[in-house]
Structure 1
């Protein structure tokens, strides 16, 4: 039987994470382009890290979340040395699915925004099932 979500997951949970952009975070370094600015894969990873942080203290033992869907608009470049902040807000809980609005800012400038959907899963069963996948 599928375990219901933890009742602690309700719209309004939020978290933020910061990153000071280094040479290893650039589009050039991560292979998503040839310019020395914050690469979109790192923007996405930062946004997802904020969603993980928002759920971390509410997870039941043995549970985790996994990413299901991402919608992200990366609209402004960020040079090396700048600090960006990713913020995630839990906006909807549908069964095991958690829907977040996310934003990444550089000071008052919006760098990226979008939505991330994660699912609550039993960590052991998930890893076991993944290892059987061909």
Structure 2
């Protein structure tokens, strides 16, 4: 998934800081969206996945206008209903922006919403 950083994605806009660079909350949302997509092949009929843990280091600032590519890799661990994905984000020069792990749990959609 490739995203261009806009003013709406900055730490200022998201209330997570006072600098006009990619805010960590938006980066986490992009990484989590990548895990939703990566979890899809593991879902049975009537299931969805929900995020349960995030361990990510945001190590490089990204300016407005620059691009970030986020990826989630096949589960490092699949224990019962829990999937642990390795995630990373790189900028347009393939420089690491963030890396870590995100856990998702497979749940029955109707029971979860009830």
User: Could you say whether these structures have the same fold, taking a TM-score greater than 0.5 normalized by the shorter chain as the test?
Assistant: yes
- Written as runs of structure 1 = structure 2, the 5 A alignment for 1:1-134 is 17-89=1-73, 90-107=75-92, 108-128=94-114
Larger Rg: 1
Q: CA deviation at 1:94?
A: 0.2
* Cα deviation 1:90-112 (Å, max 9, x = unaligned): 21100000011100000311000
Aligned length: 112
2: CA distance, partners of 1:84 / 1:95? 32
* Cα deviation 1:22-48 (Å, max 9, x = unaligned): 110000001100111000001111110
TM-score (norm 1): 0.80
Give the superposed CA RMSD: 0.9
Tell me which stretches of 4 or more aligned residues in structure 1 moved more than 3 Å.
none
Unaligned runs of 5+ in 2: none
Q: CA deviation at 1:60?
A: 1.8
* Cα deviation 1:71-116 (Å, max 9, x = unaligned): 0100100001111011111211000000111000003110000000
TM-score (norm 2): 0.94
